[in-house]
Structure 1
Amino acid sequence: MQQAVFLLLLLVIPAMHAQERLRHDSIHANATRVVRNGEPFFEVKAVGVVRATPQQAWVVLTDYDRLPEFIPDLLTVKVLSRSGNTVRIEQRSSAGFLFVWHTIRMELNVEESPSSAIHVTLVDGDMHRYDTHWTMEPLAQGTRITFSGVMEPRFPVPPLVGAAIVEANLKRTVEAVVAEIERRTAH
């Protein structure tokens, strides 16, 4: 009996890890350093698929107060005001590379299109530029979640590894969002 349990564990544990890798591998992220009209910035895009409806994804993405609980490096989010589908928030996050870390404060204007899109623009803060979008597209077996936009911090980003750092952070963020949506909809 012990041998059967051991053999079962030998088969199940690698399969569980393979499924976890498959889920994370299904999230594609890209960050490209661009210069237009003398202005440098990052163009970013990340796409993932979640086993949930757009409405279920929407509930998680617009639960602003709880975002720091599951999004890596997001320290705080505070709703400053709400008027219809427009929300003003302040958020603080942490970003860095090796031994150099920065706390980033941003006041953001959020335009909500319920269950389909969220458009986020910079009002004030520690970024030169921040204009991003979350979209939720229904699929036969779930929802495609896309995060895209442009961003440029006020602090220097290492030129040789900057895009790779932004891309890795972006992928971690979307992975965390997908995991939280699936965690909440599993109940």
Structure 2
Amino acid sequence: MHAHESFRRDPVQANANRVVRNGEPLFEVTAIGFVHAPPEQAWKVLTDYARLPEFVPDLVSVRVLSRDGNVVRIEQKSSAGFLFMSQTIRLVLQIEESPPATIDVALVEGDMRRYDTHWDLEPVGHDGATGTRVTFSGVMEPKFFVPPLFGRAIMEANLKRTVEAVVAEIERRGVH
């Protein structure tokens, strides 16, 4: 099966694995999507930090704190919930941009013990389908309680929704 064929059936594939390192639970995450747009279009959407809350679920706000060349520092606030519990998550993140292919995100401070993520934009073209493979991967370790029984499923569902929203926005902006 070719990669773009699987994306036609399920535009975003997400995986979250709960692992324990040094006695602390953390999540290793990966999500892959395909968009019918060039990497430059995907780049414009992903680096339009102030507008991310307009289309990324649970992302409440993003504020650019500083920019020095390809290094950007942002503060983001999001809301995470499970059943009747809700948790506001504040993060200060340092982003290193390598246009138009990669974005590395590292935790500076906030409501996570660890948050190291990576976006990769890869041009693809095979059997008539051209566009960009959008890959999000990383390691996340919350400071707050995540139910062990449902944690992986919650993380995977949230990851999938987030990357689906990004993919949809890239496609939407590519039409205009």
Is TM > 0.5 for Structure 1 vs Structure 2?
yes
Q: Which residue of 2 is the match for residue 56 of structure 1?
A: 41
Q: Which residue of 2 is the match for residue 149 of structure 1?
A: 138
Q: Which residue of 1 is the match for residue 161 of structure 2?
A: 172
The reply to whether residue 71 of structure 1 matches residue 30 of structure 2 is: no
- Which structure: greater helix fraction? 1
The reply to whether residue 160 of structure 1 matches residue 145 of structure 2 is: no
Retained in 1: the 8 A contact 2:11–2:164? Answer: no
Retained in 2: the 8 A contact 1:24–1:175? Answer: no
Partners of 2:84 and 2:22 lie apart in 1 by 32
The reply to whether residue 118 of structure 1 matches residue 103 of structure 2 is: yes
Superposition deviation, residue 96 in structure 1:
1.5
Retained in 1: the 8 A contact 2:19–2:26? Answer: yes
Task: Summarize the Cα distance change of 1:98–1:24 in structure 2 as closer, same or farther, 3 Å threshold.
Answer: farther
Superposition deviation, residue 25 in structure 1:
1.6
Structure 1 residues not aligned, in runs of 5+: 1-21
Q: Which residue of 2 is the match for residue 137 of structure 1?
A: 122
> TM-score, normalised on structure 1?
0.87
Structure 2 residues not aligned, in runs of 5+: 1-6
Superposition deviation, residue 23 in structure 1:
5.2
Q: Which residue of 1 is the match for residue 80 of structure 2?
A: 95
The aligned amino acid for 2:78 is S
Superposition deviation, residue 38 in structure 1:
2.0
Aligned length: 166
Identity of matched residues, %: 70
> TM-score, normalised on structure 2?
0.92
Superposition deviation, residue 39 in structure 1:
2.7
- Which structure: greater strand fraction? 2
Partners of 1:23 and 1:63 lie apart in 2 by 26
Partners of 1:85 and 1:39 lie apart in 2 by 32
For the pair shown, the structure with the greater C-alpha radius of gyration is 1
1:41 to 26, 35, 51: 26
Write out per-residue CA displacement over residues 156-178 of structure 1, whole angstroms, 9 at most, x where no aligned residue. Answer: 00000000000000000000000
Q: Which residue of 1 is the match for residue 4 of structure 2?
A: none
